[in-house]
Amino acid sequence: MPRLHFKGRALVENHHLTVPFHELRAVPEPGLSTTPSLHDNLVVHGDNLAALKALQPTLYRQVRCIYIDPPYNTGNENWVYNDNVNSPMMREWLGKTVDRDDLTRHDKWCCMMLPRLKLLRELLRDDGAIFVSIDDNEVHHLRALMDEVFGEDNFVATVIWQKIFSPKNTARHFSQDHDFILVYARDAERWTPNKLRRSEAAKSRYKNPDADPRGPWASSDLTARNYYSKGTYEVTSPSGKTFKPSIGNYFRVSPENFAELEKDGRIWWGAKGRSMPRLKRFLSEVQEGVVPQTLWPWRDVGHTQAAKKELVALADFERSEDVFDTVKPTTLIRRILEIATDEDSIVLDSFAGSGTTAHAVLAQNKQDGSRRRFVLIECEDYADSLTAERVRRAARGVPSSGDEGLREGLGGAFSYFELGGPMREESLLDAGNLPTYEALAGYIFFTATGEELRPAEMDRSRSLIGSTHSTDVFLVYEPDVERLKLLALDLAFAKALPPANGRKRVVFAPTKYLDECFLNRYEVEFCQLPFEIYRVVADS
Ligand SMILES: C[S@@+](CC[C@H](N)C(=O)[O-])C[C@H]1O[C@@H](n2cnc3c(N)ncnc32)[C@H](O)[C@@H]1O
């Protein structure tokens, strides 16, 4: 498969692996949940590269649907490439706004996206899918990056979203009426889109001009261009007129089958009984849902102006120019939720902006009484004042609103987290940078075993943080520099361990006061903090 080449590629290829884990610190005030938890609906404030890594212990292979709406790289967005990649060329790039004059803007964009797409894939379930909004500025690069990360066999569709309802006559060449949404499955063999509910408009196309007792029906063509050896016969209408498929077309059913359909009153010869026969398809018999199509007109999923209107009703913008510009309509995201989620799916949006995805999830949950969860990440300072604020208002309701749904509120709550410092080996045990016991335990257990920490199974009195089918993992640690100087894997600790009975016992501690001989006798494997926080414990 051809691969996209861009400046900086070699430096970011494995960047997703080297991004250190960061602590996620719960901040109760902006959230709506009484007990903040990483298993709640989430709004995370921080860069999504670090945040996606930090969410791995709880979200690894858990997410059913990812929707992202990254900067389109139009040259007018003022986004900044700020990833901490250690090279002189990248340092040169840092902190500078990526604008139209920047000759490397496409390279920077690809450098920004590649590691993020790789981390996003890690979070998707086998039956999950990712939807990415984009326009002509980067769609060709994005398609190549997605083919590389998700595999070209897992490409599902390029959706065309008709985003405006009246063409821009001031456009220099063409009025740009649509955005793209690229859809990839984690595994196209295992991903099946939900059928969409038949809209009222579609249902209204079923009529009953002949008062058929089976109810309303619509007719479909009985001929097709595909060659069918039995499909070239002639039929006679009740009025005596004969019909044959036109040249190059064939009846789709055999003559015997046609006769049966006719007998069952399923052939429509037109109101006067002298038109080319068509097949009657009864509304009561067609499958309830319809397969998703790739053209999404604004009439079905909303347009950009409607999106702004929705946002303005839920935020405090003083001037029109301040209104968040790239907001999407909730109806668009709800279409994605309808296609790609079920009642308790986790939905992730790591370029959250004004929080449309959370708003859409709450609205969809209210409509069908379900329990989808959202996880939003936003790096800008408005993560609280705009992103979380919209979710707070959508959930609680806006009493002054003229819209009844909005007045009442959609219900639901969420926890708010700030991205903490990196858990780097060299600085992990520095005063002022000590992660909580639970945070460190979560990362250690995940990196060591590949499994999520189950807090209910932690036993602090024995320093046990969790067990797999073959291994018990212990953490001797306290987030206090003075106490840490005294903590060690010592004889008393080893002696207090229950008999190993063939299980592996791995102890993470700042130091040990036991030599190899004792470690072997007590069947303990020692991992020194901070240097071995990313130690992988091979399962036996
Ligand atoms: C196009 S907007 C998303 C709009 C959103 N779909 C909505 O309906 O409001 C992109 C958002 O991604 C955010 N963003 C860009 N780079 C990011 C990063 N590295 N980490 C987290 N958020 C980022 C931007 O601050 C911006 O709010």
Both 504 and 367 in one domain: the answer is no
Residue 534 lies in a domain: no
pLDDT of residue 500: 86
Q: Which of 67, 73, 137, 351 to mutate to test the pocket of ligand 1 (most atoms within 8 A of CB)?
A: 351
> Where in the sequence is the domain holding 162, given as residue range(s)?
9-195+292-420
Q: Is the CB of 326 under 6 A from ligand 1?
A: yes
Q: Is the CB of 353 under 6 A from ligand 1?
A: yes
Whose CA is closest to atom 8 on ligand 1?
A: 327
Residue 540 has pLDDT above 60, yes or no: no
Whose CA is closest to atom 7 on ligand 1?
A: 327
Cα 10 to averaged position of ligand 1 atoms, centre (Å): 25
Both 389 and 365 in one domain: the answer is yes
| 359-396 pLDDT tens trace | 999 999 999 999 999 999 999 999 999 999 999 999 99
CATH number, domain of 177, equals 3.40.50.150
| Listed residues 420, 451, 470: the one ending a domain | 420
Residue 93 lies in a domain: yes
Residue 287 lies in a domain: no
Residue 307 lies in a domain: yes
Both 23 and 143 in one domain: the answer is yes
**pTM (predicted TM-score):** 0.82
pLDDT of residue 498: 86
**CA distances to 49, 66, 180, 201, 390 from 352, in Å:** 13, 11, 18, 32, 11
Q: Tell me how many domains the chain contains.
A: 3
Both 246 and 351 in one domain: the answer is no
Q: Is the CB of 71 under 6 A from ligand 1?
A: yes
Both 276 and 301 in one domain: the answer is no
- Identify the weakest region by mean pLDDT among 219-228, 298-307, 466-475, 495-504: 495-504
Can you give the C-alpha Rg of the chain in angstroms?
30
Q: How confident is the model at residue 286 (pLDDT cuts 50, 70, 90)?
A: confident
Whose CA is closest to atom 3 on ligand 1?
A: 353
| Listed residues 236, 261, 282: the one ending a domain | 282
Cα 460 to averaged position of ligand 1 atoms, centre (Å): 39
Residue 1 lies in a domain: no
pLDDT of residue 171: 94
Distance CA 504, CA 537 (A): 9
Q: Is the CB of 48 under 6 A from ligand 1?
A: yes
pLDDT of residue 452: 87
HEC per residue, 244-280: CCCCCCEECCCHHHHHHHHHCCCEECCCCCCCCCEEE
Residue 186 lies in a domain: yes
Q: Is the CB of 354 under 6 A from ligand 1?
A: yes
Both 322 and 249 in one domain: the answer is no
Q: How confident is the model at residue 129 (pLDDT cuts 50, 70, 90)?
A: very high
Residue type, 468: T
- Strand partners of residue 472: 467, 505
Both 413 and 443 in one domain: the answer is no
Cα 47 to averaged position of ligand 1 atoms, centre (Å): 10
Both 126 and 23 in one domain: the answer is yes
Q: How confident is the model at residue 18 (pLDDT cuts 50, 70, 90)?
A: confident
| Cβ atoms of residues 133 and 180 within 8 Å | yes
* Six token digits for residue 355: 């929080």
- Identify the weakest region by mean pLDDT among 153-157, 210-214, 491-495, 533-537: 533-537
Q: Is the CB of 345 under 6 A from ligand 1?
A: no
Both 448 and 469 in one domain: the answer is yes
Q: How confident is the model at residue 449 (pLDDT cuts 50, 70, 90)?
A: confident
Mean pLDDT of 114-126: 97
| 339-359 pLDDT tens trace | 999 999 999 999 999 999 999
Cα 71 to averaged position of ligand 1 atoms, centre (Å): 7
Distance CA 421, CA 419 (A): 7
Q: Is the CB of 121 under 6 A from ligand 1?
A: no
Cα 137 to averaged position of ligand 1 atoms, centre (Å): 17
Q: Is the CB of 24 under 6 A from ligand 1?
A: no
pLDDT of residue 310: 93
Mean pLDDT of 404-411: 88
Residue 2 lies in a domain: no
Mean pLDDT of 440-454: 88
Q: Is the CB of 113 under 6 A from ligand 1?
A: no
Residue 338 lies in a domain: yes
Whose CA is closest to atom 13 on ligand 1?
A: 351
Both 247 and 121 in one domain: the answer is no
Q: Is the CB of 327 under 6 A from ligand 1?
A: yes
Which DSSP helix (H) or strand (E) runs through 348? strand 346-349
Cα 221 to averaged position of ligand 1 atoms, centre (Å): 47
* Phi and psi at residue 20, to the nearest 5°: -70, 155
| 138-155 pLDDT tens trace | 999 999 999 999 999 999
Both 229 and 116 in one domain: the answer is no
Q: Is the CB of 37 under 6 A from ligand 1?
A: no
Q: What is the mean pLDDT of the chain?
A: 91
Residue type, 529: L
Distance CA 146, CA 111 (A): 13
Both 204 and 326 in one domain: the answer is no
Residue 534 has pLDDT above 80, yes or no: no
HEC per residue, 23-92: EEEECCCCCCCCCCCCCCCEEEECCHHHHHHHCHHHHCCCEEEEEECCCCCCCCCCCECCCCCCCHHHHH
Q: Which of 94, 119, 378, 385 to mutate to test the pocket of ligand 1 (most atoms within 8 A of CB)?
A: 378
| Listed residues 248, 282, 316: the one ending a domain | 282
